[in-house]
Structure 1
Amino acid sequence: MLSRGGELYLELMKRVLANVVYEDAPVGWYGDLDGYDTKARSQGLDLPTTAHTMVGLKRLANVQACVERVIRDKVPGDLIETGVWRGGVCILMRAVLEAYGVRDRRVWVADSFEGVPVVHSASHPLDRDMALHRINGVLKISQEEVRENFSRYGLLDGQVDFLAGWFNETLPGAPVDSLAVMRLDGDLYESTMDALTHLYPKLSVGGFVIIDDYNIEPCRQAVWDYRSRYGIEEPIEPVDTCGVHWRRTG
């Protein structure tokens, strides 16, 4: 049971990570927003200039709920996010562990820290069409900056591990024994498929898969293809207009 102080700590963490406290404006060229918009920030529909996450309050609440559930149900395993941007979601994962006094789980921070892969002739067609690397100037956040963001919250410690590099290179041999929550935020087909291929087999029964970019066709198609290939039939539950999750039952 979390104390009232713990509840307030996690609520404040979410509000600070999404910067609904100081209401920073989105990147000027992103979308049609003119200044800070409360609804857009809540749903993660803007691209903040300074906030430590772009996923919004609803998806942050989902992360908290999933981590709390696996703690309560004693589902074994660590927590991972693939594609972390400024690190806000992973910081929240670590904060939840801290609030509950959990010392036997780790948070894995997996990212290239170089932005998204540049597409080429052999890339998946949906990834080529999207060409998300064109905004790597905004998406590329260094490992040093993410570490510093953890430090600002007093949460950079031995329970935080970094997996730096492209997913197809780092995830196959990642020293992760088991997972209780895996959150995928790689946007692209290949990034999503790499994460599912190498991490889903490590997900404990009762663990959660969270897909941040299900509203994006390349990501959604990768999820469909993987689930179809392995006969995964657990229902996909919406989080907001972008994200979804499901819980592994077998």
Structure 2
Amino acid sequence: MPPLARPLPADYPSIRQQLDALEDTLTGASNRDPPLPGSPIKFRKYNPKIRGLGLDWPSTAMTMVGRKRLHNFRKLVERVIRGNVPGDIIETGVWRGGASIMARAVLDAWQASDRKIIVADSFEGLPPPSPGQWPADEASDLHTYDELAVSLEQVQANFEQFGLLDEQVVFLKGWFRDTMSQVESSQLAIIRLDGDMYESTIDPLVHLYDRLSAGGWVIVDDYGVIPACKQAVHDFFEMKGIQPRLRAIDGIGIFFRKA
């Protein structure tokens, strides 16, 4: 990777400690938040290994991406700041908003006031599959889980809880098939995809990738556990004629850099 133009600030140890504590809070590690009863992996108690990999659905914590993927997002936000990679940061599929809250907290800690965090979600759960158009989604039943539907108002309240609800946070409500063309940012530094379906992965890639700055990053949260998401990524690569190097996060999520 290229060298970073911006050095670490003198108070970085304090920044790191602050963001480490936020990771604990957002993932539910700080209070050992148990999983929801409807969580796909049936543990009644908090399990740090399962939570670290984001394999359960926390009862009250604000993210289900797990500690490792949350940390990856945090470090990439720091990297684009230090590397002067221009553009805003978008997360498509946010649940309770925890990962986007982390991204906004990093901007705040680094005093990066020239970027926005775009928080894109239906805020109604996942769409029913459209197998006629997207055959890879035919078996998806994620639209039937009420636990995955978190209202816009609740996500905004979660940002407010951390004092991070401000003009640098932009909410984009609706199905990605309708909203991705409405993203106003002309440049993006990070695209974080967490749509859990082929449709919800390919739509953001098609509409947003050309706006990603050179040196910017794409993160695919569900690449290793939802075959439809993996297929969408590789279909997009074939469409664009690109073969970026895929970097593993935790055996589930991956990320890659735009040359």
Instruction: Mark yes or no: TM-score above 0.5.
Output: yes
How far apart, in 1, do the equivalents of 2:78 and 2:66 lie? 19
Q: Aligned with 1:81: secondary structure?
A: strand
Q: Is residue 140 from structure 1 mapped to residue 152 from structure 2 by the alignment?
A: no
Q: Is residue 98 from structure 1 mapped to residue 145 from structure 2 by the alignment?
A: no
Q: Aligned with 1:32: secondary structure?
A: coil
Percent identity between the two aligned chains = 46
How far apart, in 2, do the equivalents of 1:193 and 1:131 lie? 18
Q: Deviations over 1:204-245 (max 9, x none)?
A: 000000000002111000001001111221100000121000
**Which residue does 2:63 correspond to in 1?**
53
1:155 to 156, 164, 170: 164
Contact 2:129–2:140 under 8 Å retained in 1 = no
Q: Aligned with 2:235: secondary structure?
A: helix
Question: Aligned AA for 1:227?
Answer: F
Contact 2:52–2:67 under 8 Å retained in 1 = yes
Residue 7 of structure 1: how far off its partner (Å): 1.1
How many equivalent pairs are there? 248
Alignment of 1:1-250 (within 5 A): 1-2=8-9, 3=11, 4-30=13-39, 31-120=41-130, 122-135=132-145, 137-215=146-224, 216-249=226-259
Q: 1:193 to 1:121 in 2, by over 3 A?
A: closer
Residue 119 of structure 1: how far off its partner (Å): 2.1
Question: Aligned AA for 1:14?
Answer: E
Contact 2:33–2:60 under 8 Å retained in 1 = yes
How far apart, in 2, do the equivalents of 1:121 and 1:72 lie? 43
Residue 132 of structure 1: how far off its partner (Å): 1.5
The answer to which of 181-190 and 4-13 deviates more is 4-13
Unaligned runs of 5+ in 2: 1-7
Residue 86 of structure 1: how far off its partner (Å): 0.1
How far apart, in 2, do the equivalents of 1:92 and 1:7 lie? 12
How far apart, in 1, do the equivalents of 2:249 and 2:33 lie? 24
RMSD: 1.0
Q: Deviations over 1:155-204 (max 9, x none)?
A: 00010000111111111122111100110000100110001000111000
The answer to which of 46-55 and 111-120 deviates more is 111-120
The answer to which of 115-124 and 7-16 deviates more is 115-124
**Which residue does 2:4 correspond to in 1?**
none
Residue 43 of structure 1: how far off its partner (Å): 1.0
How far apart, in 2, do the equivalents of 1:182 and 1:121 lie? 26
Structure 1 runs of 4+ aligned residues shifted over 6 Å read none
Unaligned runs of 5+ in 1: none
